[in-house]
Amino acid sequence: MNIDFTEIPVANKGGKDQDIFELFACDFLESLGYDIIQRPSRGPDGKKDLIVQSNSVPGTTSDSKTKWLVSCKHNAHSGKGISDTDEPDISDRLNKHKCHGFLGFYSTIPNTTLSEKLASMNDRFVSTIYDHSRIEKEIHSLKDKERILATYFPKSREKVIVEHKPVNDIVLEERNEEVESICNNRQQNDVENLLEISRTAVIQIEIAKIKSEFTYDWAKSEDSLNKLYIYSDFRNEIIAREVLSFLNHNVSSAARSGMPSDIANIIDGLVLTYFPSSYDNKEKELRIENGKECIYIGFNLTYDAFIYTNNFEVAQWGLSIWKFIYRESKRNNMPELIEAVLNQYKELEQTLNRPERNDLENAKQLVAVFKEDLETYDLSFPPLPEHLYQLIQNSK
């Protein structure tokens, strides 16, 4: 898969999308295992740097617990490499922030002049570069690969879903051979269609086994849910229906039973993985139904977290699912789902207006923040007022 880094807007044009590449860097490095010490932001004192700390991160050139100054350069739209003049005063910047390592995060490649400059300074600090090739390679190794792709590279992800039609490279070899022996005189596309039907049926059986072993012992359920990622390379709308229906009716519907935020995070990741699982017109009706399942999943998480458990972090994941469905529906002309998301917001707002409850004001505010954020580019959580941020921290 080739990731198109130009999907991320240009960084120096101003506006609400100008910091998306830095947010991507922060999200990517955190997923890779770095601890985020200082997140990128803007203020009266100008742009603030991204600072991270490694904790035995594979592929870095230092011991664990190294504090890194991250320099983000997004030149994919011009194709220009990063030269030594693009990274002035590296030592001074490291000293200012008391960092021990320099981490270049680039959507193109470093020029020879920069590589030589860093090599000449390796007696003073350590350095590592994440260029576009290394970033893409690392993304495919991430547990939350689908979330990263859906958030920052939706078109690249969509291209893979459309083009990827695996036939022979799965564990159903005996079944495939049996079907091929029957169909050896048929046209190749007929054989492939039968193989996909066979594969889908077997995967449905495997998903049924996962459902049967699932319990509401949340400490044990994480492994069961993670098994659902196994079939992501072979997804279609039928497989997606099995996964999303399970998440709606069996998993998210029990959010009131003390669901931890880690489980809500996994549910969010599975939604991003399995919706949509096709883009052709023949599966549009089922795709719409699967989108509605996702919306119900988001409602279950958010409603139960507000009304029963007061877990604002779980509620965030539910609202994040709504934003993802809303964005994908706008991108792919699915007005039914756009309307469904907005209707669910209305329903949630109405159900939070309870005269007998005086403890839902913060919930109403969180819903308002997420609703206002529906039209933004990325899928990261919106900035929150300090009191809501503290409520979420206390939920962890």
Can you spell out the DSSP letters for 169-222?
SSS-HHHHHHHHHHSTTS-HHHHHHHHHHHHHHHHHHHHHHHHHH--S-HHHHH
Q: Do 372 and 227 have their domain in common?
A: yes
CB 252 within 8 A of CB 267: yes
Predicted pLDDT of residue 44: 41
The residue written with tokens 């010490």 in the block is 37
CATH number at residue 68: 3.40.1350.10
pLDDT in tens, 228-251: 999 988 999 999 999 999 999 999
Which among 66, 72, 67, 88 is positioned nearest to 25, based on CA atoms? 72
Does some domain include residue 44?
yes
Opening angle at CA 271, ends 135 and 295, nearest 5: 140
Does some domain include residue 155?
no
Predicted pLDDT of residue 164: 53
Does some domain include residue 188?
no
Predicted pLDDT of residue 174: 45
Q: Do 133 and 228 have their domain in common?
A: no
pLDDT in tens, 305-318: 999 999 999 999 99
pLDDT in tens, 354-367: 999 999 999 999 99
Predicted pLDDT of residue 228: 95
In angstroms, rounded to a whole number, what is the distance separating the alpha carbons of residues 127 and 62?
Answer: 8
Question: What is the percent of the chain with per-residue pLDDT over 70, rounded to a whole number?
Answer: 86
In angstroms, rounded to a whole number, what is the distance separating the alpha carbons of residues 132 and 327?
Answer: 25
Q: Do 128 and 229 have their domain in common?
A: no
Burial (CB count <10 Å: 0-12, 13-18, 19+), residue 15: exposed
Does some domain include residue 148?
no
Predicted pLDDT of residue 381: 87
- Mean pLDDT, residues 356-379: 92
Does some domain include residue 59?
yes
Beta-strand (E) ranges in the chain?
35-38, 41-43, 46-48, 50-53, 67-73, 101-106, 126-130
Strands 41-43 and 67-73: unpaired
CB 366 within 8 A of CB 315: yes
Q: Do 104 and 218 have their domain in common?
A: no
pLDDT in tens, 34-50: 998 988 765 444 455 79
The residue written with tokens 């996909």 in the block is 196
The range of the structural domain enclosing residue 231 comes to 210-395
Q: Do 14 and 112 have their domain in common?
A: yes
Does some domain include residue 132?
yes
Last-in-domain residue among 113, 142, 171: 142
Instruction: Provide the pLDDT confidence category of residue 170 given band limits of 50, 70 and 90.
Output: very low
CB 60 within 8 A of CB 66: yes
Does some domain include residue 374?
yes
Strands 46-48 and 101-106: unpaired
Which among 135, 85, 38, 40 is positioned nearest to 378, based on CA atoms? 40
Amino acid identity of 166?
P
pLDDT in tens, 184-212: 545 556 667 788 889 999 999 999 999 99
Paired strand residues for 32: none
Q: Name the DSSP class of 118.
A: H
What is the tally of structural domains in the chain? 2
CB 110 within 8 A of CB 104: yes
pLDDT in tens, 52-90: 998 654 455 555 578 999 999 999 999 999 999 999 999
- Mean pLDDT, residues 249-254: 94
Q: Is the pLDDT of residue 110 over 60?
A: yes
Predicted pLDDT of residue 180: 54
Predicted pLDDT of residue 184: 54
Does some domain include residue 184?
no
Q: Do 133 and 216 have their domain in common?
A: no
Q: Do 231 and 378 have their domain in common?
A: yes
- Mean pLDDT, residues 122-148: 91
Q: Do 238 and 356 have their domain in common?
A: yes
Last-in-domain residue among 100, 126, 142: 142
- Token representation of residue 281: 């017109």
Last-in-domain residue among 142, 174, 198: 142
